[in-house]
Structure 1
Amino acid sequence: MKRIIKKVAVIGSGIMGSGIACHFANIGCEVLLLDIVPNALLPAEEAKGLTLESKAVRNRIVNEHLANAIKSKPAPLYHSSFAQRITTGNTTDDMARIADVDWIIEVVVERLDIKKLVFEQIDKYRRPGTLVSSNTSGIPIALMSEGRSADFQEHFCGTHFFNPARYLKLFEIIPGPQTSKNVLQFLESYAEKFLGKTPITTKDTPAFIGNRIGIFGIQSLFHLVKEMGLTVEEVDKLTGPVIGRPKSATFRTVDVVGLDTLVHVANGLYQGVPNDEAHDLFALPDFIQKMMETNKLGSKTGEGFYKKEGKEILTLDLDTLTYRAAKKASFATLELTKTIERPIDRFKVLITGKDKAGEFYRRNLGAMFAYVANRIPEITDELFKIDAAMKAGFGWENGPFEIWDAVGLEKGIELIAAEKGTLATWVSDMQQAGIKSFYKIDSGKTLFYDIASKSYQVIPGQESFIILDNIRESKKVWANSGAVIQDIGDGILNLEFRSKMNTIGGEVLQGINKAIDLAEKDFQGLVIGNQAANFTVGANLGMIFMMAVEQEYDELNMAIKLFQDTMMRLRYSAIPIISAPHGMTFGGGCELSMHADKVVAAAETYMGLVEFGVGVIPGGGGSKEMALRASDLFRKNDVELNVLQEYFLTIAMAKVSTSAYEAFDTGLLQKHKDVVVVNKDRQIYEAKKHAILLAEAGYTQPVKRKDIKVLGKQALGMFLVGTDQMKAGSYISDHDKKMANKLAYVMAGGDLSEPTLVTEQYLLDIEREAFLSLCTERKTLERIQFMLTKGKPLRN
């Protein structure tokens, strides 16, 4: 049976419920969001003469929750206009409306008695065949569906989103005793393709997979911290980006999530897994108990492991539970890994450390390896699901079994023994059989060791993915130190950046030109995409800074012209070129995407021409392109200056979209041409499909533009008056004004006496001239140096 999800009902509008509602709105669904009716009036409502029967009062809870969610940061919506897709109501008056929806998701308080009452109401009103699921984080699914109709039970299961629903990819699916296999298969497919999630079907065990392993990791750490006498700063240093974990590491993450939330799940596990060999670890250490008693719950109460006083961030002393000034954490072992780029490659070095850091990693990993191995087959039969859950739900770059592979099977077993852990029988069997790893790569696919068959099996669901790590060497056509060109099949090449932070310097520009040469000669299309954390942070600032400081202006002029010429090669190649941006897509990366034939952007793309932050204007064709795009929007009888001004402000205000959808508003992406993919894992596969489509539709090399309408003095005068007023009002600095005036000159097409049609090359030449002149300014060099050393913009 074909199933289409057009309308969704979410019952419960708290932080999680509102977040889930917003994410379904993100992907185009109509959403009905319901919550309970208040039992008393607020003073403000009484003052207005409202009663408990007033609709505004009856929907107050749901409306306040949704409004708070929409205002929260990070934003739960891809675009503010998507809120219009959500309709609110209450569970007393509006429950009958669920008869019109395709999927009902319960997100009420974690109490079985209340959930059962809600499901009784749902069973009364739902249409037969409608999906019903619970977002519970630990209540057994079997208990919730007791007493419900056969059709309800067949279409019911747990669907556990992780908070925030837009950003965290883990989507656990927990079957009930009667859940139809067709329902489970549909949810897996829908979650991956439409919701952009990593779907994992789990067993109905306490806390399922993600929280079972995640809470063990945190609780284990809490106990280890006290045993080793580590500070809060030291733990966050050891458990952050150095090992491929989020910047918030451990204690900052707990502050954001809320200590009470963590304690609730840990207490549930302590009661729910009495036979777990690590049962005692789920008991709360004394310092956590005292923090709960003194309301040190984190961000929600203003103090947790960290506390902000004025501009200073204080840290909790775990012995005295008082706050003190932060101390910088440093370890000799971490210094040994500074030259190792990939976190997965650092573990082998980290566990050899002779200091406290080395001991920490040995003990922490030994405990984790033992625990995850012993959870099979209790919580899952397949080891890859544990790794996938930790990566998608907790932001780990690598899962426990991948890390174990990195240090070696034998070494991992040694670490377990040193911690007096119990080695799982199936791992011993692997060792005796001479099998050395949990994963291997074959024909571009990732295979995992299947315990039941004692053989390697393909991880399912890779059909719609192109995993560059798996084909980088086997499908390599050409490479240098900054870029790799791979044959991804069907006549399509992929160009992957491999420079630090994917910055665009000489090596990457060489790669772009080489990829176009190869594609035009022997292939039918090119994708420019990678699977790093970010697409690219832009041009190589360090190179520009050194040339400017050394006053090597001829060389700098040549470097900028090479960048511009490369962008024009992208625009006017003989084959279709697709850009696949995601994450940070700044400066030169934004310019690259703007010159491609089509952009297949990940929904989480943060795109902007941010050059003003370092004292220059976009010099790789970005200023030219914004003038061109404005010109293409000019219509008869329009106020053309207003159109041009919007594009000017996108650059002058260094606007960065908080999603791909917002990039359409700023003109960096173009409607009816560029597309958005919700699941980043599918992005290169989808970009390849668009390249094939353009090629097979009879792609024709574009003709160079000579028809760009610029407004000359008419626009330039408007911009210069505006910057004078901004400076007079102290809104901008002298250097800001100078940059804005340079940009105005370019986008106006110079001081031409009347509107004129010009070529792209004309605009590129005055753009490059403006860029170079700004590079001679001391204040520009100060801004570039500040960005390079501090990682944030300087206003001077």
Structure 2
Amino acid sequence: MAKRIIKKVAVIGSGIMGSGIACHFANIGVEVLLLDIVPRELTDAEKAKGLTLEDKVVRNRLVNDALRASLKSKPSPIYHQKFADRISTGNLEDDITKIKDVDWIIEVVVERLDIKKQVFENLEKHRTPGTLITSNTSGIPIQFMSEGRSEDFQKHFCGTHFFNPPRYLKLFEIIPGPKTDASVLEFLNGYGEQYLGKTSVVAKDTPAFIGNRIGIFSIMSLFHTVKEMELTIEEVDKLTGPVIGRPKSATFRTVDVVGLDTLVHVANGIADNCKNDERLQLFKLPDFINTMVENKWLGSKTGQGFYKKIKDENGKSEILSLDLNTLEYRSAKKAKFDTLELTKPIDKVIDRFKVLVSGKDKAGDFYRKSFAQLFAYVTHRIPEISDELYKIDDAMKAGFGWEHGPFQIWDAIGVEKGLELIKAEGLEAANWVDNMLSSGSTSFYTVQNGATHYYDIPSKTQTKVPGQDAFIILDNIRKSNQVFKNSGVVVEDLGDGILNCEFQSKMNTIGGDVLAGLNKAVDIAEKDFEGLVIGNQGANFSVGANIGMIFMMAVEQEYDELNAAIKYFQDTMMRMRYSAIPTVSAPHGMSLGGACELSMHADKVVAAAETYIGLVEFGVGVIPGGAGSKEMALRASDTFRKGDVELNVLQEYFLTIGMAKVSTSAYEAYDLGILQKGKDIVVVNKDRQIATAKAHARLMADAGYTQPVKRKDVKVLGKQALGMFLVGTDAMEASNYISEHDHKIANKLAYVMAGGDLSEPTLVTEQYLLDLEREAFLSLCTERKTLERIQHMLKTGKPLRN
């Protein structure tokens, strides 16, 4: 088979989904042609300008407006606004001939079979044979779409279902048509995972495929349970959110965001086309949903759904909730359950399920009932929607943001216990579950030799989940490859002479135990290994230093201990930089404050594309004190070029800290000077991150890594920089842009980054800057307003401006 390379794609249809898909291809460096229909009439503005329907600007209005709206939307569909230059727009009349030059055509037009067939007929006239052509339908059977098309078209045609928003949701369902060539499916499966950063799942051509079939069942069964158990929507959202590893928006807020009409459309599709589904009754819409649809209470798009935001008489925003009995909005009620209190000390979501299903209150009843329904349902969907159980779990995790799939949750509760719950609910699991137990397999998954295996129903054996060889799954190797462990970290052997240091603290905060673990990891690596990766597979890399510990010491005025703690942090960062082995940091998700400092001191950063990284210490009333302020001064010095206005360069780095800038993707971190071009890299698929980081550590070791020499050549600008900064901060406070305390913090930072009040530009050591930084940090910890900021952050998780 000839090698297939994707250099250019055409996306047909520029709605929310089409524009989102176009942006994600632009994210990964592919050239995109985005086409839509020509408007049939002029707007008033166009008439006023004297334009006609023949003008190009009018003919491309729909596509250009849609793309513009998409690029402005939050969260952004694109990693960096300049990546939008990779997208060119046009219309389906003037520009359709251009599709002859693309490698892949993706149709994302309205969900109507007649329109899709018309579009395909038109596309086939201009498509070059051998070009991939796929539909992003979420409900129309793939087999109907390619009827009447040529042999070549049908061979290269299938469904590729992205989930909205395409940048953030990882599920990529691939649905073969009756004549799709096996090599096309194999290519798309690999491309989705490696290049698009997705979890690729080849699904069967059944209504709603895998993700939506199970996801919509889960929501619909909840709609019925809510009424039956007389729960409020706040209670359900409390029970079905982060406590069970689901998104914060849980159930009802998620429906509001997605749109009730979208949900109803998919549910009706399943009800109409899955007549043999044993739970068909559950897809019939409850009365309250019908009323809401009639009233156009569809969620965020219509301003009200299950929740409604209003302003009270004082202009203060309030979120009201819908009472499902009266269908009237009322003030939100706080939901509280004893069972949930019992899970508070349990950090790992997977360990909570046993506690939840044995709850003695309404929450326990709810979990027993809803898990019983879900477990029974998924057993009957094999082999209807998938032959392999792991694909159902993958689809729910990647498409609906669940931390664990149904079979993983069932394993956590225990297979026998799950069957008990199903029976208690008057339901039955499919026969293959009993067969599994009698064949000697007591769980759906096992880990063997560091790889995940699943129970394969036809062969009745535990079979390795395919495609894992490109990944390192820390959960699978943590116990068998452990080299060191304390309360803050686990250090694992990744093989090939490379170690990994994985944070295990709450929210991966960096406290004394983590710092001790990092130092120990460097010690072990220097003695017996050849490189060190600092990486984990938690929800976030790390939210930074343990500010609770800093707060306690500051309140109790233990300044010597605090000074020692900050110095320990600084020394650990310098240890990362000046060790005898290469160090690679692998940040992802939130990588804030101390976590950002740590990454800036590694030899290399292998960042996940979805990395939100920045020095945010201003928000808690201090400056970066773990070598971050020093590092920004050093990086500014390294970027001074002959003829530069050096003050302007330094000011950029100063503002990155002073405005607590955080990147909204790893690519933006290059602009902030946090990631460095030519040194640090970005990976789109987070699952590959640890393996890629390991490979880079190995590469540096193989290239003959030499321990770096400590820097004594950092150019600081002294009084001239300090004077400029102080004038600037005075003006900012005078104009009420910053508070008096912000002014004080900014001046302390200015002093550090200018290198103090030296009379002329001077070359200094890193240690000189570290001492200035630590002194400034300590003095800020003696300020009442700083302590108020830290306390507020610890209580609310939000910064205080005082």
TM exceeds 0.5?
A: yes
Residues 739-778 of structure 1 correspond to what in structure 2 (within 5 A)? 739-778=745-784
**Cα distance between partner residues in 1 of 2:92 and 2:320:** 44
Deviations 1:234-278 (A, max 9, x none): 000000001010000000000000001101100111101011001
Residue type of the partner of 1:415?
L
**Cα distance between partner residues in 2 of 1:608 and 1:433:** 52
Deviations 1:674-720 (A, max 9, x none): 00000000000000010011110111111111111000000000000
Asked if 1:648 corresponds to 2:654, the answer is: yes
Question: Secondary structure, in 3 states, of the residue corresponding to 1:308?
Answer: strand
Asked if 1:373 corresponds to 2:379, the answer is: yes
Residues 625-644 of structure 1 correspond to what in structure 2 (within 5 A)? 625-644=631-650
Aligned to 2:181: 180
Deviations 1:200-225 (A, max 9, x none): 00110000000000000000000010
Residue type of the partner of 1:689?
A
**Cα distance between partner residues in 2 of 1:139 and 1:756:** 69
Question: Secondary structure, in 3 states, of the residue corresponding to 1:53?
Answer: coil
Question: Secondary structure, in 3 states, of the residue corresponding to 1:336?
Answer: helix
**Cα distance between partner residues in 2 of 1:455 and 1:621:** 53
Question: Secondary structure, in 3 states, of the residue corresponding to 2:411?
Answer: helix
Asked if 1:453 corresponds to 2:459, the answer is: yes
Aligned to 1:300: 301
Deviation of residue 434 (structure 1)? 3.7
Counterpart contact for 2:716–2:763, Cα < 8 Å: yes
Counterpart contact for 2:606–2:680, Cα < 8 Å: yes
Deviation of residue 341 (structure 1)? 1.1
Question: Secondary structure, in 3 states, of the residue corresponding to 2:343?
Answer: coil
Deviation of residue 432 (structure 1)? 2.7
Aligned to 1:431: 437
Deviation of residue 769 (structure 1)? 0.2
Aligned to 2:100: 99
Aligned to 2:59: 58
**Cα distance between partner residues in 2 of 1:418 and 1:431:** 19
Deviation of residue 281 (structure 1)? 0.6
**Cα distance between partner residues in 1 of 2:440 and 2:454:** 15
Unaligned runs of 5+ in 2: 312-316
Aligned to 2:737: 731
State the percentage of identical aligned residues: 76
Counterpart contact for 2:439–2:460, Cα < 8 Å: no
**Cα distance between partner residues in 2 of 1:552 and 1:335:** 34
Aligned to 2:23: 22
Residues 284-363 of structure 1 correspond to what in structure 2 (within 5 A)? 284-310=285-311, 311-363=317-369
Residue type of the partner of 2:153?
F
Asked if 1:580 corresponds to 2:586, the answer is: yes
Deviation of residue 588 (structure 1)? 0.3
Deviation of residue 382 (structure 1)? 0.2
Deviation of residue 431 (structure 1)? 2.6
Q: Which of 412, 415, 419 is matched with 1:413 structurally?
A: 419
Deviation of residue 56 (structure 1)? 0.6
**Cα distance between partner residues in 2 of 1:432 and 1:681:** 34
**Cα distance between partner residues in 2 of 1:697 and 1:150:** 51
**Cα distance between partner residues in 2 of 1:785 and 1:777:** 13
Counterpart contact for 2:583–2:603, Cα < 8 Å: yes
Deviation of residue 93 (structure 1)? 1.1
Asked if 1:168 corresponds to 2:169, the answer is: yes
Asked if 1:599 corresponds to 2:605, the answer is: yes
**Cα distance between partner residues in 2 of 1:687 and 1:341:** 26
Deviation of residue 433 (structure 1)? 2.9
Asked if 1:470 corresponds to 2:473, the answer is: no
Asked if 1:683 corresponds to 2:689, the answer is: yes
Deviations 1:447-480 (A, max 9, x none): 0000010000000010100000000010000000
Q: Which of 668, 685, 689 is matched with 2:674 structurally?
A: 668
Residue type of the partner of 2:201?
I
Aligned to 2:224: 223
Question: Secondary structure, in 3 states, of the residue corresponding to 1:174?
Answer: strand
Per the normalisation by structure 1, the TM-score is 1.00
Aligned to 1:197: 198
Residue type of the partner of 1:47?
A
Query: How many residue pairs are counted as aligned between the two chains?
Result: 796
What root-mean-square deviation, in Å, do the aligned CA atoms of Structure 1 and Structure 2 show? 0.6
Question: Secondary structure, in 3 states, of the residue corresponding to 1:222?
Answer: helix
**Cα distance between partner residues in 2 of 1:711 and 1:341:** 47
**Cα distance between partner residues in 1 of 2:310 and 2:524:** 58
Q: Which of 623, 628, 634 is matched with 1:622 structurally?
A: 628
Aligned to 2:43: 42
Question: Secondary structure, in 3 states, of the residue corresponding to 1:776?
Answer: coil
**Cα distance between partner residues in 2 of 1:567 and 1:428:** 54
Counterpart contact for 2:441–2:455, Cα < 8 Å: no
The more displaced of 341-350 and 425-434 is 425-434
**Cα distance between partner residues in 1 of 2:715 and 2:333:** 58
Residue type of the partner of 2:33?
L
Deviation of residue 436 (structure 1)? 1.2
**Cα distance between partner residues in 2 of 1:37 and 1:500:** 54
Aligned to 2:150: 149
**Cα distance between partner residues in 1 of 2:269 and 2:722:** 66
Aligned to 1:552: 558
Residue type of the partner of 1:388?
D
Question: Secondary structure, in 3 states, of the residue corresponding to 1:163?
Answer: coil
**Cα distance between partner residues in 1 of 2:461 and 2:438:** 14
Question: Secondary structure, in 3 states, of the residue corresponding to 1:514?
Answer: helix
Deviations 1:590-624 (A, max 9, x none): 00000000000000000000000000000000000
Residue type of the partner of 1:385?
K
